[in-house]
Amino acid sequence: MKTVLFANTDWYLYNFRRDLAMALRERGDEVVLLSPKGEYVQRLQQLGFRWIEFPLSRQGMNPFTEIQSLWRLFKLYQREEPQLVHHFTVKCVLYGSLAAHLAGVAAIVNSITGLGYLFLPGGLLKNMLRAFIWAWYRLAMRGTQVIFENAEDQIVFLQYGFIHPDDGHLIPGVGVDTRRFVLTPEPEGSPVVLLAARMLWDKGVGEFVEAARSLLAEGLDARFALAGRTDPGNPASISDEQIETWINESVIEWWGWVDDMVATLVKANVVCLPSYYREGLPTVLLEAAASGRAVVTTEWPGCRDALINDVSGLLVKPRDTSSLAGALRKLLTNTALRKKMGAAGRTLAEEKFASGKIISEILSVYDRAGKSG
């Protein structure tokens, strides 16, 4: 069977869907990877995968350009004649589903990897765009199998009539390779709190910095680090200048883009993601748990699904610097509690989030899509 995996970056395919692609190949599928060109293409090809470039503007709104993208995708699906397509991220889901319907693809699977900023409150223009996107969802999702990473996103799609109840499947995230991410001892010295994410205000970066400033002012012995890229195409992106200001204040360390999360997590004592972005299920929290790191995140869709509160980590109120600082203080001043929660996180990762289990559930959805196609 020829299977196409389509995402908006080659980075996403390599880091989050590589294991799925390898499992498909091992079972005998012809796997085709589709994305815009980036620095991870060579790595995908070195793994032996066929990759096709498909330029796609993540933030583009020019109707002529977008219609051209949809047409090119339709023609690509016509030419490739896949038996199954699996789309990830919003534009790929919307464009891919419609193109696959038009091209007569038998089995269509969509992964909702979070609802993103369009589902957060906004002004008139954002509300108009949201109404258009919702209408497109209703059109594109018909007859497809849809994977959700958290229950709240699935409920939203059901409430708005985007999908039929029988076509939705809850699978918690992309999983984590518990052979790569292993339980490791905490580093020596001042404890390090790490926030690893795209540098977006919606990820709670501002609240993290304010909590760090407050705790350092108390004289707490700790270091606070940010890792990840800014995202200039996103309206919620934090500027490089702002990050430089925080560095100059000696509030945070800036580790920039990190390619090796295994090695990065070894350098942290606590992993923090105070997000109020509509996440799917943040992979960094699963990787932290598998590495035996206590986590602090928000009582927010997706984030709260990555831990057991007061067992493998702590939940805090979204956009609440005081609540966040309190949780971090609790872990930074109690080494035994951190280690206990880290061990519990490792157990949770093995039992619930191991990539083999997640991939098995995805393949079951593929089987259903093939039968209904």
- Rounded CA-CA distance 277/285 in Å is 15
Q: Which two tokens stand for residue 282?
A: 């943040």
Q: How many domains does the chain have?
A: 2
Question: 205 and 167: one domain?
Answer: no
In the chain, the amino acid numbered 202 is D
pTM equals: 0.91
Instruction: Quickly state the pLDDT bin for 145 (edges 50, 70, 90).
Output: very high
At 140 the three-state DSSP class reads: helix
- With a cut of 60, say whether residue 62 has pLDDT above it: yes
- With a cut of 70, say whether residue 126 has pLDDT above it: no
Burial environment of residue 231 by CB neighbours within 10 A (0 to 12, 13 to 18, 19 or more): middle
Q: What is the DSSP string of 238-299?
A: PPHHHHHHHHHTTS-EEEE--S-HHHHHHT-SEEEE---S-BS--HHHHHHHHTT-EEEEES
Cα–Cα distance list, 281 to 57, 266, 301 (Å): 24, 22, 8
Q: Residue 261 is part of a domain; what is its CATH number? A: 3.40.50.2000
Instruction: Quickly state the pLDDT bin for 372 (edges 50, 70, 90).
Output: low
Question: What average pLDDT does this structure show over 110-136?
Answer: 72
The verdict on residue 156 lying in a domain is yes
Question: 117 and 132: one domain?
Answer: yes
- With a cut of 60, say whether residue 120 has pLDDT above it: no
The verdict on residue 197 lying in a domain is yes
Instruction: Report whether 372 contacts 146 (CB < 8 A).
Output: no
Residues constituting the chain: 373
First to last CA, the chain: 14
Domain limits for position 171: 2-175+354-372
Q: Which two tokens stand for residue 33?
A: 């990877």
The verdict on residue 181 lying in a domain is no
pLDDT value at residue 125? 64
The verdict on residue 186 lying in a domain is no
